[in-house]
Amino acid sequence: MTNVKEKLPGVKGVHHGVIFDYKTWGLANMGLNEAITVKKTQEMDAANVAKYIKIFEQLLDLTGYKLVNSKYVPHYCGEDYPLLTLAWLRFEREDQINAGVCGEHISVTFEQNTDKLMGMVRMVPKLDDSCFVSHQHALETTIKFLRQNAPDLISREVVIPQLAQLDNGSHIMFDPEDKRLCFDKVQVYWINDHKELVTLYGKQEEVHGMKVKMYIPEQKLYIWVIVDKNNEVVVFERSINWDFVKGRRNTQMWLQDHWLLAQKINDIIGHCNPDSLDENNFATV
């Protein structure tokens, strides 16, 4: 009997650009004039600020960074879910280099009632596009990160298949029926280069990472991880609601400076000077 070699998961996809319209995205499926409650922040007391810093320091080394702002913010998961409250904290460099909105920073969100990590972003200069981590390493790093920081989604050892080998930085797509890309409650959709703009030393620069986009079928929500060229997680977001009819994200974008700027959330961006920035800067996926 002839052994048929199993086809490795993944095919090359078309690199698609998604324009992030920060003025209309992240408004919980509401109109521009109705979305006041989903953008309203609240002050956080010192004891809870200290608690969340301590939790975050167990995940990430914050040496050289200081807290510059903290708030409670709402998080929309969809009409079938109650509006969550997240603890949001932002850190910038102690030496104040590249400080301010759309500059170098680390931000994080935790779910208030459970202290569950909901999101994290590290906008730092080292994320240039000189090289990319492989799709395989991006997936392996992602699964390891989720097992440690989202055990409600991946709670056990899982078998990560060998992926089809494509050029680093290219777009790889997976068959939604391929059970090899289903890990506990998470299904991997695709892996692709993700780029954003950050202001470094007075100039806007592109920063890159490999984005692993996933879906949680049980919740009908999305989750993703972005891995840099050093195999480190630089972005994590979970419980994201997407409107396919309107082609936009409904969940707020508290980790996106350009969204904060476009939405004029002054109690967050007010500590820096946004006058020279363009609120219509778009990121591409």
The confidence score (pLDDT) of residue 155 equals: 92
pLDDT, averaged across the chain: 89
Q: For residue 52, which phi and psi values (nearest 5 degrees)?
A: -70, -30
pLDDT at residue 128 tops 90? no
Residue type, 121: V
The confidence score (pLDDT) of residue 268 equals: 85
Q: What is the pLDDT of residues 41-67, one digit of tens each?
A: 999 999 999 999 999 999 999 999 999
Least confident of 26-30, 103-107, 110-114, 157-161: 26-30
The confidence score (pLDDT) of residue 131 equals: 72
The confidence score (pLDDT) of residue 212 equals: 98
The confidence score (pLDDT) of residue 78 equals: 95
Specify the higher pLDDT residue, 198 or 273.
Answer: 198
Residue 280 belongs to a domain: no
Residue 282 belongs to a domain: no
Residue 167 belongs to a domain: yes
Residue 242 belongs to a domain: yes
Query: Which residues neighbour 118 within 8 Å (Cβ) at sequence distance 6 or greater?
Result: 75, 84, 86, 109, 110, 111, 237, 238, 239
The confidence score (pLDDT) of residue 206 equals: 84
The confidence score (pLDDT) of residue 247 equals: 85
Query: What's the domain range around 171?
Result: 11-269
pLDDT at residue 185 tops 70? yes
Q: For residue 185, which phi and psi values (nearest 5 degrees)?
A: -100, 5
Model's pTM, two decimal places? 0.91
Residue 275 belongs to a domain: no
Residue 84 belongs to a domain: yes
The confidence score (pLDDT) of residue 275 equals: 44
Domains: count for the chain: 1
pLDDT at residue 130 tops 80? no
How far out from the chain centre does Cα 209 lie? Answer: 11
- 30: which 2 tokens? 């509401």
The confidence score (pLDDT) of residue 276 equals: 39
Residue 285 belongs to a domain: no
> In the chain, what is the straight-line distance between the N-terminal and C-terminal CA atoms, in Å?
45
Model confidence at 285, pLDDT cuts 50, 70, 90, reads very low
Residue 183 belongs to a domain: yes
Q: For residue 274, which phi and psi values (nearest 5 degrees)?
A: -90, 5
The confidence score (pLDDT) of residue 37 equals: 84
Specify the higher pLDDT residue, 128 or 246.
Answer: 246
pLDDT at residue 143 tops 70? yes
The confidence score (pLDDT) of residue 8 equals: 94
Mean pLDDT of 257-263: 93
Model confidence at 195, pLDDT cuts 50, 70, 90, reads confident
